Amino acid sequence: MPKTEIILIQNVVGLGAESDHVKVAAGYARNYLFPQGLAIPLTAANKRRIEALRQRRAEREAHEFNTMSELAKSLSKMVLALTVKTGEDGKMFGSITAGAIADELKHQFDVALDKKKIHLEHSLRTLGEHDVELRLHPEVNATLKIRIESATPLPKPAEAPATEAKERETGRYRSGARETRARPAAREEVKGEAQAKVEPRKERAPRKPRAEKKEKAE
């Protein structure tokens, strides 16, 4: 297949940027790049435009860098909430993909982001919070926090209240048993103290017989 040299006048992903001169298939240049205004043939006259194209490229890249830097700051402060269907065990039906995240960014925050800039090592399959890396620019990365919630909240375990009541009952029983065992000892102690406080009775002198008294009177 014959090749032809061209000068790009627009940024073409996978091919190059403004002012780059590259070789491509002649049919690709003739049928797509030239009609779309993305490139021009490499000629002596067109070479004069390279400097102007380089200046325009520098301005475009500086603008993209500033725009993506500001976007990165905004996205780092956001929390993207996603609601999914789950089973009774809390497991998700399906998963969250980069395309779904891009759609929700547009829907919730009106942020148009190419899903290719959302870097996921694997799709998200669990509830909770996740940090997702965004590659917005060759020199600008950001982290987006995503919170995945269930559309059907999981039922609370019913065993907890019964367990607490049982523990309270057991605690009262044990407390009562300790008091019951302690009471006899306490009574003995009180009884002993009471006996210690009672003073012994004084012994009275024996009475003299009446006959002896009459004799002394005579």
DSSP type of residue 123: -
Is the model more confident about 188 or about 84? 84
DSSP type of residue 157: P
CATH number at residue 37: 3.40.5.10
Q: Is residue 125 part of a domain?
A: yes
Q: Is residue 54 part of a domain?
A: no
Single out the residue of 129, 104, 131 nearest to residue 120, CA to CA: 131
Q: Kindly state the tokens that stand for 27.
A: 């049919």
With residue 58 as reference, give the H or E element that holds it.
helix 50-76
Count the domains in the chain: 2
Indicate left, alpha or beta for 202 from its phi (over 0: left) and psi (-120 to 50: alpha). Answer: beta
Domain with 17, as residue range(s), is 3-48
pTM recorded for the entire structure:
0.59
Q: Is residue 186 part of a domain?
A: no
Q: Is residue 38 part of a domain?
A: yes
Question: What are the tens digits of pLDDT across the range 1-38?
Answer: 789 999 999 999 889 999 999 999 999 999 999 999 99
CATH number at residue 108: 3.10.430.100
Single out the residue of 100, 149, 94 nearest to residue 120, CA to CA: 100
Q: Is residue 10 part of a domain?
A: yes
Q: What's the rounded mean pLDDT across residues 150-179?
A: 60
- Asked if 131 contacts 62 with a C-beta cutoff of 8 angstroms, the reply is no
Q: What's the rounded mean pLDDT across residues 52-81?
A: 94
